[in-house]
Structure 1
């Protein structure tokens, strides 16, 4: 999407899109999300009733908070725009969910016709759901890369967007599963698994399963975003999608036709170790981001973008947090927010220059760098001015 101009608002340059896009697209997006959400609410309530639906919502709210918080913690070097993070969650909770519901129900009906009653449910769970759900969830992340390239810096961004889409999807799915369990068995007892058992399984033991699957797509798209070769840019997302589908299918298959021992084996020998590996990978990649930012600071000092005394403060998360805390104590939260915007702009410039050096920044890299240089200068000027005005 071409940019028509670049204007300054509150001292920080911002993209200026045609008014029909800045007004109509957000409204259209909200209407789509609201329509999908209301449709899902109506369908779920019709199946389980209002009381069970309320129990489902209450149960689904508990695990989604820690999951979202974990991905926001990951996204700290150069935080993504809040509107896109909300949109990612909404896409997963509404658009992806209702799309998957329609296609999976169709696959279930076809399966029942071909294999007999009950066969369609298995086909839907083991084949249709992994293929469709991961495809629709991954489409959002791919869309960010293709249409909002400036908001996509690499693997960590892919992980964050994918994780929040999946968290939204799991949230809506949990509402239905918890509500259905309550409608059929109540809270449960020693002979029938009710909503408590469902919550332990989905909310305690496996709140990260959907994010774990879709994060594979995010990693693949993140690798593509920083790849210099066309082959890698095509293969990485496809391999990420394939990994997500295989993991999702394995999980659903063991839950659908496997025994309790089979399910526990897959859980402890596949899912838990893989989750640990992804956590380690994220930790390693955040350390790599820190090194990229630190390596880019001397050139910014030479160019007069930052001053020498800020290098140590910008080179680590601890230094950045300490800087913001000190400014907040001296000049208030508004000044601390201005410093945070400045820190994020420095990170984004460092990431872009690193990508330019590697040949993976894209054909518009020079223009993006010029805009970011203005962002860094004016963000620093604003941070200094706000701090002075509040003293």
Structure 2
């Protein structure tokens, strides 16, 4: 399989994965330099604007804060051209656009500027940086040269350090995050080694081989792992050029489970992936076991994965790295360049012709 990597990985996605630990280290260095006391008053709620790979860091932040604090912090993630009417000067609006030119994010941010003076941005440049400089809006400048989905550490840790440095949650959260970051920094090399070998003992490599010719369906708990679930689906879509579906529990137990009957000739093409964590609600654990039993009785293959680590942040990134590597291996098996996104580029070409500005 070695020659397949050089043949199909034309833009070195492999290097991005191998050096993800270095990216985390650099992202933490940049994030730790975010100014303190940026806002004269603490915001009551948070609105993070973003799309695709630039938004997934916000999803992960929401999961981490929820696991640490419950529902005490109100964070909404806006994937649209508009912003809700309820935004006011008590809302901190954060724009996350890797390129700085994501049209949905720019549209929403420009509208938010008229509603609140609590603003921040994370970007590598583009129009978003220009807006921030013109209007004196604080922002974190991150390195260019990545695909947005391959710059996850910059988007996530930029957000996390904004919250830590400005004490936007509480002291206990800040302390827990510093311990979590230290554990992740110590473990990331081992995590990369675990998933980068081309051996069947590597769960990412094994999963990719199991998924070849199949359609993955990812299930997880709502709240804690829905962000990882979304990341996995996006990575299989963009890297492996494969359809991938998913949902969260308990909601899928009340509707989607009934759909696993028809069309009968398609059911066998799916392979189930369960993403799990030791901290989820005990009834969710029971429900995951129940659907596992149902799918197995239908003759479907079920793969399940737990993140490894003492702290939730480490377990989260362990699962993320597993999914990233699995989608990379599947891309090579599918004879696809994991970095290239031809259909997204085609879509952008079509949309560019419709602009009136």
Report the TM-score when normalising by structure 1.
0.24
Whichever of the two has the greater Rg, that structure is 1
Report the TM-score when normalising by structure 2.
0.26
Q: Which has the higher strand share?
A: 2
Q: Which has the higher helix share?
A: 1
- The structure, 1 or 2, with the larger RCO (C-alpha pairs under 8 Å, 6+ apart) is 2
